[in-house]
Structure 1
Amino acid sequence: MIIKDWALEDRPREKLYMLGPRQLTNAELLAIILSSGTRTKSALEVAKELLAASDNNLDKLAIKDIEWLMEIQGIGHAKAIAIKAAMELANRRSERKVKRRKITSSEEAYEEVKNLFLDLQVEEFWVAYLNRGNRILARERISVGGVAGTIVDPKVIFKPAILLLATGVILFHNHPSGNLKPSRNDLMLTNKLIDAGRQLDIVVHDHLIVGNGGYYSFRDEGEM
């Protein structure tokens, strides 16, 4: 049976309209995004297959690329793009819900930025700029690299700090592999930025490596 032949209360769109989105299953919400199925499968059946292929885990689904999504029968280029767009909107909403606050620990710093690194397959380097009270003035993405690394220029990092009259910064980058151990380059870069900040009277409070739902703090581990 196709969706239009089902009872009204069982159709995902109508169900959302009558009961609200929270009453729908993940498969039903995905079916609405897909909009249509194939000649032999409804959008809901395609959505269920997609979830099953992702171990019924939305986090795993979110990191799948467009080519992988298109391997599911019933998902073409347009539908794969629609899924990626929906996942990115969810990430951005989560990011904006993080309340800007005074940073007093590596855990609080991690909570402030963890959503920035969701689902990334390449390294990104971010900086949080702090005022004298350790409250965040701004967050900036400094560079985007490949799977194994990214290039960071101290001038690019500290120019916004000067413009913002920031007195401190916290450095962040991710390891797509999930391995939180800092590389030799990570250690060298951290020391280089600490020295550069010292010349400008800007304190590098910490450097966090983010990945696999956790983080590594250079400050906590005695690396700075």
Structure 2
Amino acid sequence: MEKPLGIQSWAEEDRPREKLLLKGRTTLSDAELVAILIGSGSTELSAVELSKKILASVNHDLNHLAKLSVSDLMQFKGIGEAKAISIVSALELGRRRKTGEQRAKVRIKCSADAYEAISPELLDQPVEQFWVIMLSRSNQVLNKRPISLGGVSGTVADPKVIFKKALEDLASGIILVHNHPSGNLKPSRADLQLTEKLAHAGKLLEIPVLDHIIFTDNGYFSFADEALL
């Protein structure tokens, strides 16, 4: 089989680095951007071809690509530890940029606002996590607190821990959030029971539970919107 031509044999304007310099970063495809990160391909594939193979494995979904670990990426021939780390690091920087955009005081007016506020923390997470958004009297976000980290199908939320953190933040109200990595938006019986328990505790402490959001990368379920609070 004839060996494919390497990037250096391409026309200068077609090489990813040169293309970025000549035409700007927005002209590059996802595969070309990944190719710049990894620098070189394998003996059989150019960097761009190898990048296309990696992207094809996740159906060209960058959110899915962001969930791959270093060891996952190293399963591709031509991707060693250093190249895998480069990809993971670049995607993590992208996630942190989203986090930085959320640093200004945000006022929660509806469930969509809560979903957007917690997205930087829960987007692309492969296991269940439970978070609480702490709100001021005017519904401004005071803090976003992680409560627990679980497995692929569950996590634990201790009411004592939740309200201890709420009292520390002087929160006037809280929004509960946990993610479903599976993408399933339907609340479980345990979700319903926990929400009822925490809502009752919140009333006693005068720190009302304003909503409980089930978070997925492609949408959310709001207990408040569905009149389950």
Q: CA deviation at 1:9?
A: 2.6
> Are residue 62 (structure 1) and residue 66 (structure 2) matched?
yes
| 1:30 to partner: Cα distance | 0.3
1:165 to 167, 170, 192: 170
Aligned to 2:101: 97
The correspondence for 1:44, drawn from 45, 48, 53, is 48
Residues in 2 aligned to 1:16 and 1:209: alpha-carbon distance in whole angstroms: 40
- Secondary structure of 1:205's aligned partner: strand
* Pair 1:139 & 2:144 matched: yes
| Cα drift, residue 212 of structure 1 | 4.8
Q: Distance in 2 between matches of 1:164 and 1:173?
A: 20
Alpha carbons of structure 1 residues 212 and 118: separation in structure 2 relative to 1, 3 Å: closer
- Say whether residues 1:153 and 2:158 are aligned partners: yes
The farther-off stretch of 17-26 and 179-188 is 17-26
Compute the displacement of 1:168 (Å). Answer: 0.4
Q: Please state whether the residue corresponding to 1:129 is helix, strand or coil.
A: strand
Aligned to 1:189: 194
Deviation of 1:93 after TM superposition, in Å, equals: 1.2
Could you tell me whether the CA contact under 8 Å between 1:172 and 1:209 is conserved in 2? yes
Structure 1 runs of 4+ aligned residues shifted over 6 Å read: none
2:84 corresponds in structure 1 to: 80
Root mean square deviation of aligned Cα: 1.9
Q: Following the alignment from structure 1 to structure 2, what is the Cα–Cα distance between the partners of residues 108 and 65?
A: 30
Count the aligned residue pairs.
224
**Contact 1:100 1:112 (8 Å CA) reproduced:** no
Is residue 198 of structure 2 the alignment partner of residue 200 of structure 1?
no
Which of 27, 38, 41 is 1:23 aligned to? 27
* Contact in 1 for aligned 2:178/2:213 (Cα 8 Å): yes
Q: 1:198 and 1:28 mapped to 2: Cα distance?
A: 54
In the alignment, residue 37 of structure 1 is paired with which amino acid?
A: G
1:14 aligns with 2:18: yes
Per the alignment, do residues 129 and 16 of structure 1 end up closer, same or farther by CA in structure 2, a change over 3 Å counting? same
Q: Distance in 1 between matches of 2:108 and 2:64?
A: 30
Greater alpha carbon shift after TM alignment, 196-205 vs 124-133: 196-205
Which amino acid in structure 2 is aligned with residue 200 of structure 1?
Answer: L
- Give the Cα separation in 1 of the matches to 2:190 and 2:215: 16
TM-superposed CA distance for 1:191, in Å, is: 1.9
Q: State whether residues 31 and 48 of structure 2, in contact with CA within 8 Å, keep that contact through their aligned partners in structure 1.
A: yes
| Cα distance, 1:100 vs structure 2 | 3.9
Residue 199 of structure 1 aligns to a residue whose secondary structure is helix
CA drift of 1:137 comes to 0.9
Distance (whole Å) between structure 2 residues aligned to residue 200 and residue 17 of structure 1:
59
Q: Where does the alignment leave 5 or more consecutive residues of structure 1 unmatched?
A: none
What is the rounded CA distance, in whole Å, between the counterparts of 1:183 and 1:70 in structure 2?
Answer: 36
Equivalent residue of 2:157, what SS?
coil
Deviation at residue 104 of structure 1 after TM alignment: 1.9
Give ranges in structure 2 of 5+ residues lacking alignment: none
- Find the counterpart in structure 2 of residue 124 from structure 1: 129
